Amino acid sequence: MKALKEPTEGYTPIGMKYPVTSSGRRIALARWITSKDNPLTARVAINHMWLRHFGKPLVPTVFNFGKSGKTPTHPELLDWLAAEFMDRDWDMKAMHRLLMTSRAYRMQSSGWAADDSRAKKDPDNTYLWRMNVRRMSAENVRDSLLALAGKLDATMGGPEIDETKGQDVFRRSIYFRHTPDLQMETLRVFDGASPIECFERSESIVPQQALALSNSKLSQTTADEISRQLAPAATKFVDAAFERVLGRAPTAEERTASAQFLKEQETFFNGDAPRARQSLVHVLLNHNDFVTIR
């Protein structure tokens, strides 16, 4: 054993030999990155937090804060939040709380007419006169289906799960294998996180998404489970289904149309009322409001 630890005479190392003790260069770099004299780190972090909560970043080029990138839409706000972040000892939870309790975050995303003067002056909501309407992320879509049916397995940790088992294994979506070559089809269709880069997610509205919610085994299974848990009476069922799936009450027009739909489906399925109720829930899971955050 002693001979193994000691080099033989004439031994030439094949690479650089590093000292036993640290030179301190890495800790020096870490301290420089998080120094108040270098606010870039805090500004980048705040831009990502803002993007996740508001749907749009303060600096449009999330991946580029250099001179070739775009300027912030609200430079004073970005600088203030970055300074606040550092003053709070880099407490991310405190900053999330600050953003989510702000007046800007608590604004409504709807309730304004198309001819509203604010919409004409600022159609892209650059000046934050309303909340942005956003699409749910891929993981949220799948996990919401399971959560509504009471089937979501919230067990923490464990090895990654084969991406082909997404329709049958009810663990949270973050635990499934996600690589450039291997991705769960449901997550891929709904713009899942890029396995290559993590700057910003793309957002699309394509026919494949509606087809995934219409035809997937997971969607049909959860629709059946949700319909079984709700009150069977026609009028109460319609209201309960809207509240459970869309988080709101139906309009008078929607209530009438849904009641008519239940009657037609029950006739179509030869008097099978549970199957008709499942069909209505399945339709609501394909409603735009289900995948939209307002």
Least confident of 1-15, 27-41, 179-193: 1-15
Per-residue model confidence (pLDDT) at position 7: 61
Structure confidence at residue 96 as a pLDDT band (50, 70, 90): very high
How deeply is 129 buried, as exposed, middle or buried, from its count of CB atoms within 10 A (0-12, 13-18, 19+)?
middle
pLDDT score of 235 more than 80: no
The predicted pLDDT at position 4 comes to 62
- Region 114-127: mean pLDDT is 89
- Percentage with pLDDT > 90 across the chain: 71
Q: For residues 253 and 239, what is the distance between their CA atoms, to the nearest angstrom?
A: 12
Distance CA 209, CA 214 (A): 9
DSSP 292: E
CB distance 219 to 225 below 8 Å: no
Distances (CA, A) of 233 to 7, 116, 239: 84, 41, 10
Q: Tell me, what's the pLDDT at 234?
A: 75
Assign 67 a pLDDT band (cuts: 50, 70, 90).
confident
Distance CA 280, CA 245 (A): 11
Contact 280, 227 (CB under 8 A): yes
Cα gap 206→253, rounded to integer Å:
27
pLDDT in tens, 124-182: 999 999 999 989 999 999 999 999 999 999 999 999 999 999 999 999 999 999 999 99
Mean pLDDT of the chain: 91
When pLDDT is averaged across residues 34-46 and rounded to a whole number, the result is 93
Whether pLDDT at 11 is above 70: no
- Top pLDDT among 292 and 16 is at 292
pLDDT of residue 3: 64
pLDDT digits over 189-219, tens only? 998 888 888 778 888 888 899 999 999 999 9
Q: Is the pTM for the entire model greater than 0.85?
A: no
